[in-house]
Structure 1
Amino acid sequence: MQFFNSRLVIAGGALLLASACMPISRNHGFVVSKEAPGDIEAGVDTKTTVLSKYGNPSTVGVFEKDKWYYMSELREQLGYLRPRTKTRTITAVAFKDGVVDDVSIYTIKDGHVVSIVGRKTPTRGRELSIMQQLLGGVGRLPQGTLGNDQNLPGGAGGPRRQ
């Protein structure tokens, strides 16, 4: 009986450890249904019908206001490792005069890696220390106006009564 209990505990522990290795899947963005891209027809659907079928777009083109993007992404995380993107789909719907002109579907294979440039743009002038920045404005108020001008710090702060 004791042998059976120890095997049960070992099996339970192995099951618990195996469940920790199961990937955690997370959907981000617009979840595309199986028939989603096919149900929008160029020349037939309008902005209103696309809104009723897909809802609000994930983003709208910055320079092309008549281009809507529906983005979705599936990420999986295994244990303590970093999440990995399994699938990414971007559905771009282009409109012309309020009617669908084109529907394009992009996947993770269509993406490009953008390298970030670490250079700095030089600025004119001199670099100030922290003390120069803090004390740089001390004594720069015009002479004889402190208390007389309502727009300066320490001024009256409103219209004067006569």
Structure 2
Amino acid sequence: MLKRAAFAILLAGAAMTGACAPISSYSGFQAIEANPRDVKPGEDSKATVRGRLGSPSAVSAFDTNVWIYMNQIKETVAFMRPIVTRRDITVITFDQETETVKTVDNLTLADGKVIAFNGRETPTRGRELTVLEQLIGSIGAGGVLPRDEEGVPGSRPGDRR
């Protein structure tokens, strides 16, 4: 009897552990037939790189001769926040005149840096009105009675409202 209870507990524990298997999600450039790391400086050109790898994930905003291929893998366990387990970034720089590959830089998750964002906001001048102040403030601001004034900005000559 004790052996069966221990076996049932062991079986239930194995089932619960299997239910918490991580779910992997892939995003970014997926190297299927060719790998960006296989690009050779001095031999490949923009045309051969685009033909072999396809369009880059991003092009540098400051230099159109810098192409970036990125991908990452995230794993999620149950209800926990996803964790990035792998990130590969390949930066390919081309020579401006010959359009051949000048350099190939491979970066991983270990090369990344954590940036501490500042959540503070810059205050603006003035004060915010409450809903009641906005309603009371609009009373008497106009539009209910017709105006007898000519030449008021926004009115046409001879226009009576």
Q: TM-score scaled by structure 2? A: 0.69
Query: How far is the alpha carbon of 1:76 from its aligned partner?
Result: 1.0
Determine if contact 1:42/1:103 at 8 Å carries over to the other structure. yes
Query: How far is the alpha carbon of 1:108 from its aligned partner?
Result: 0.8
1:126 pairs with 2:126: yes
- Please give the alpha-carbon distance, in whole angstroms, between the structure 1 residues aligned to 2:7 and 2:76: 29
Pair 146,100 (structure 1): closer, same or farther in 2 beyond 3 Å: farther
Task: Please tell me the root mean square deviation across aligned C-alpha atoms, in Å.
Answer: 3.7
Query: How far is the alpha carbon of 1:31 from its aligned partner?
Result: 2.3
Pair 66,145 (structure 1): closer, same or farther in 2 beyond 3 Å: same
2:39 aligned residue = 40
1:142 aligned residue = 153
Determine if contact 1:32/1:72 at 8 Å carries over to the other structure. no
Query: How far is the alpha carbon of 1:127 from its aligned partner?
Result: 3.8
- Please give the alpha-carbon distance, in whole angstroms, between the structure 2 residues aligned to 1:49 and 1:146: 71
* Alignment of structure 1 residues 59-78 onto 2, 5 Å: 59-78=58-77
Query: How far is the alpha carbon of 1:91 from its aligned partner?
Result: 0.4
Letter matched to residue 109 of structure 1: A
Structure 1: give runs of 5+ residues left out of the alignment: 149-162
Pair 36,147 (structure 1): closer, same or farther in 2 beyond 3 Å: farther
SS of residue in 1 equivalent to 2:105: strand
SS of residue in 2 equivalent to 1:82: coil
Query: How far is the alpha carbon of 1:120 from its aligned partner?
Result: 2.7
Pair 130,44 (structure 1): closer, same or farther in 2 beyond 3 Å: farther
Q: How far does the alpha carbon of each residue in 1:54-73 deviate from its partner, in whole angstroms, 9 at most, with x for none?
A: 11111111112111111111
* Alignment of structure 1 residues 51-130 onto 2, 5 Å: 51-97=50-96, 98-123=99-124, 126-129=126-129
Moved over 4 A (4+): 5-15, 130-136, 138-141
Query: How far is the alpha carbon of 1:10 from its aligned partner?
Result: 6.7
Structure 2: give runs of 5+ residues left out of the alignment: 144-151
* Identical counterparts, % of pairs: 32
- Please give the alpha-carbon distance, in whole angstroms, between the structure 1 residues aligned to 2:110 and 2:34: 21
User: How many residues in Structure 1 have an aligned counterpart in Structure 2?
Assistant: 146
Identify which range, 37-46 or 87-96, moves more after superposition: 37-46
Q: TM-score scaled by structure 1? A: 0.69
SS of residue in 2 equivalent to 1:91: strand
